[in-house]
Amino acid sequence: MNARIPIHALTGDATCAEPPVLRERGQREVFCGLTGIVWLHRKMQDAFFLVVGSRTCAHLLQSAAGVMIFAEPRFATAIIDERDLAGLADVHEELDTVVQRLLARRPDIRVLFLVGSCPSEVIKLDLSRAAERLSQIHSPAVRVLNYSGSGIETTFTEGEDACLASLVPQMAQVGSAVNEPDLLVVGSLADVVEDQFRRLFAAMGIARVAFLPSRRASELPAVGPNTRMLLAQPFLAATAKALEDRGARRIPAPYPLGVEGTQAWLMAAAETMGVDPARADAALAPARQRATQALAAARTRLAGKRIFFFPDSQLEVPLARFVARELGMVLTEVGSPYLHATHLDEERALLPAGTQLSEGQDVERQLDRCRAAAPDLVVCGLGLANPLEAEGYATKWSIELVFTPIQGFEQAGDLAALFDRPLQRRARLAA
Ligand code: SF4
CB of residue 57 inside a 6 A radius of ligand 1: yes
CB of residue 54 inside a 6 A radius of ligand 1: yes
Rounded CA-CA distance 291/285 in Å is 10
CB of residue 234 inside a 6 A radius of ligand 1: no
pLDDT tens-digit profile of 378-430?
A: 999 988 999 999 999 999 999 899 989 999 999 999 999 999 999 998 888 87
Mutate to test the pocket of ligand 1, among 57, 120, 157 (most ligand atoms within 8 A of CB): 57
Ligand 1 atom index nearest CA of 119? 8
Average of pLDDT values for 283-290? 98
User: In the predicted model, what is the mean pLDDT of the chain?
Assistant: 91
Q: Which amino acid is at 331?
A: L
CB of residue 34 inside a 6 A radius of ligand 1: yes
- State how far the alpha carbon of 12 is from the alpha carbons of 15, 20, 23, 54, 368, in Å: 8, 5, 10, 42, 23
Mutate to test the pocket of ligand 1, among 52, 118, 120 (most ligand atoms within 8 A of CB): 118
Q: What is the pLDDT of residue 155?
A: 86
CB of residue 118 inside a 6 A radius of ligand 1: yes
Please spell the DSSP secondary structure of 288-355, one letter per residue: HHHHHHHHHHHHHHHTT-EEEE-SSSS-HHHHHHHHHHTT-PEEEEEEES---TTTTHHHHHHSPTT-
Average of pLDDT values for 292-298? 96
pLDDT tens-digit profile of 201-210?
A: 999 999 899 9
pLDDT tens-digit profile of 93-121?
A: 889 999 999 999 999 999 999 999 999 98
Q: How far is the CA of 119 from the centre of ligand 1 (A)?
A: 8
Taking CA atoms only, the protein residue closest to ligand 1 atom 3 is 57
Q: What is the pLDDT of residue 81?
A: 77
| pLDDT surpasses 80 at 174 | yes
Burial 377-413 (b: 16+ CB within 10 A, else e): bbbbbbebbeebeeeebbbbbbbebbbebbbbbbbbb
Q: How confident is the model at residue 19 (pLDDT cuts 50, 70, 90)?
A: confident
Mutate to test the pocket of ligand 1, among 56, 121, 127, 163 (most ligand atoms within 8 A of CB): 56
66-75, 242-251, 285-294: least confidently modelled range: 66-75
Average of pLDDT values for 14-35? 79
Q: How far is the CA of 337 from the centre of ligand 1 (A)?
A: 17
pLDDT tens-digit profile of 47-98?
A: 999 999 999 999 988 887 765 545 568 889 998 877 766 665 688 888 999 9
Q: What is the pLDDT of residue 15?
A: 45
Rounded CA-CA distance 182/190 in Å is 22
Q: How far is the CA of 222 from the centre of ligand 1 (A)?
A: 34
CB of residue 60 inside a 6 A radius of ligand 1: yes
